[in-house]
Amino acid sequence: MDEQTNVKVKILRYNPEKDKKPFWQPYEVKIEPDATILDILNEIRWKLDGTLAFRRSCRSAICGSCAMKVNGRNILACETPMHRFKGRGLKIEPLPGFRIIKDLVVDLDSFFEKMNRVRPYLLLDKPIPDKEFIQSPEEFEEIREVCICILCGACTSSCPSVWSNEEYLGPAALLKAYRFIFDSRDDAADERIDIVNDKNGIWRCHTIFNCMEACPKHIKITEYLSRLKVKAVENSI
Amino acid sequence: MLYKRTKFFDFNYRKFIGSWAWILHRLSGLALIFYLTLHIWIINTLTRGSEPFNEVMTFLGSPLFKFLEVGLWGVILYHAFNGIRVVIIDFAKGSLFHKKLFFILTTIAFILWVAGSVVILTHIH
């Protein structure tokens, strides 16, 4: 077993039944140097303070539950080793831009409601084929990278346009719109463009790139949103 | 009761190159609006004849305004060149190399700023 080190962690706590405002609570954790942020949170919850609330599930960067803000940037707790923030101590906060339910747990209802607004499923005019939908590798390449989004909310939560306007669809929902608009099997591109081409839609993207910096799957979100903008312009000519 | 923490802007969120480019773009935009208002107000003195206009112009010829002009030239250049960057990002796949774009375009803007400032500062009437 590796030698354990002491880590100073500050976590933003908030219990709606007791606290008026969130406050910083310091912890000191003894843990292996290659531990992830999630390991540290588990260590605190299991051994030091059972009242700490946070979401986690798969601990392998695929469920998208444990997105949170650590030392000023959104990350997935399970895939981020603590040595990435070497020597600075850790400050762990819930995702910005969302309302806090308790401690690191935020209310993602608005996030999924926005996702539903772009109708994230295939809409067809043609009859459903007997066997499967045929899509060529070239056609799939258009949407391949976008399909790996795990809906963690790190991008939408990092976007200054979302912070100042809760109605803005945000990068994740717009990326989902891209995923279906550019899907060769889908027939409702025009309808989705109309939803996206709105004052709270694609035009609130000011190419700040926070979403791309935050995405744990390294999706080039801004590039896809730019393609959506071009598509929206083409459609309105 | 859910707590809304981010009121308007999350000030302690880490700023990357893209964030700085956007923040400076907004600030330079505001500065330009301020300048244009001032500009229209000064031109407006012409409607009262040449005398008030000349008075204002002599006032604006003072060294303080020379330095403000140098600042204005910088603000215009930054706003213009970052504007070009945004257009390239949206219409020419600039997202894939936006950091390089930022450094290249601000370097060009900086060179033009130095050159222009020399002209402005050495041209004292």
CATH of the domain at A12: 3.10.20.30
Query: Contact A16/B3, CB-based, under 8 Å?
Result: yes
A117 — phi, psi (to 5°)?
-60, -30
B12 inside domain: no
A115 and A97 belong to one structural domain: no
Q: How confident is the model at residue B124 (pLDDT cuts 50, 70, 90)?
A: low
A40 within 8 A of A90, measured Cβ to Cβ = yes
Query: Contact A164/B2, CB-based, under 8 Å?
Result: no
**C-alpha distance from residue B30 to each of A157, B22, B37 (Å):** 26, 12, 11
Residue listed under structure tokens 């700040």: A208
Dump pLDDT digits (tens) for A194-217: 999 999 999 999 999 999 999 999
A118 and A232 belong to one structural domain: yes
Q: Does B87 touch chain A (CB under 8 A)?
A: no
Over 60: is that where the pLDDT of A162 sits?
Answer: yes
- Between A35-49, A120-134, A153-167, B78-92, the lowest mean confidence (pLDDT) is in A120-134
For chain A, the maximum distance between any two Cα atoms, rounded to a whole number of angstroms, is 65
Nearest Cα residue to B85 out of B34, B36, B17, B13: B17
Query: Contact B95/A96, CB-based, under 8 Å?
Result: no
CATH number of the domain within which A129 lies = 1.10.1060.10
User: How large is the ipTM?
Assistant: 0.90
What pLDDT score does A1 carry? 59
B38 inside domain: yes
pTM assigned to the model? 0.91
Expressed as residue numbers, the domain containing B118 is 19-122
For B30-68, give one letter per residue: b (16+ CB within 10 A) or e.
ebbeeeeeeeeeeeebeeeeeeebeebeeeeeeeeeeee
A22 — phi, psi (to 5°)?
-65, 150
Q: How confident is the model at residue A96 (pLDDT cuts 50, 70, 90)?
A: very high
B67 inside domain: yes
Mean predicted lDDT score pLDDT of chain B: 92
In chain A, which ranges are continuous DSSP H helix? 37-43, 109-117, 137-147, 154-158, 160-164, 170-181, 189-196, 210-214, 221-236
The structural domain count of chain B equals 1
B10 inside domain: no
Looking at this protein, which amino acid is placed at residue A5?
Answer: T
Q: Where are any strands of DSSP class E within A15-143?
A: 23-31, 67-70, 73-76, 90-93, 99-102, 105-106
Residue to mutate among B4, B5, B11, with most A CBs inside 10 A, is B5
- Cβ-based contacts under 8 A for chains A and B: 86
Expressed as residue numbers, the domain containing A83 is 5-106
Dump pLDDT digits (tens) for A13-33: 999 999 999 999 999 999 998
A73 and A47 belong to one structural domain: yes
- Alpha-carbon torsion A95, A99, A101, A107, what sign? negative
Ordered strands of the A99-102 beta sheet: A105-106, A99-102, B3-4
A232 within 8 A of A196, measured Cβ to Cβ = yes
B4 inside domain: no
A93 and A174 belong to one structural domain: no
Over 90: is that where the pLDDT of B49 sits?
Answer: no
CA B31 to chain CA centroid, Å, is: 6
Q: Which residues pair with A75 in a beta bridge?
A: A68
What pLDDT score does A226 carry? 96
Q: Does B11 touch chain A (CB under 8 A)?
A: no
Tokens coding A118: 């772009």
A226 and A121 belong to one structural domain: yes
Tokens coding B125: 């009437």
B3 inside domain: no
Q: Does B22 touch chain A (CB under 8 A)?
A: yes
What pLDDT score does A88 carry? 74
Q: Which residue of B4, B8, B90 is in closest CB contact with A229?
A: B90
Q: How confident is the model at residue A60 (pLDDT cuts 50, 70, 90)?
A: very high
Which residue would you say has higher pLDDT here, A230 or A86? A230
For chain B, the maximum distance between any two Cα atoms, rounded to a whole number of angstroms, is 66
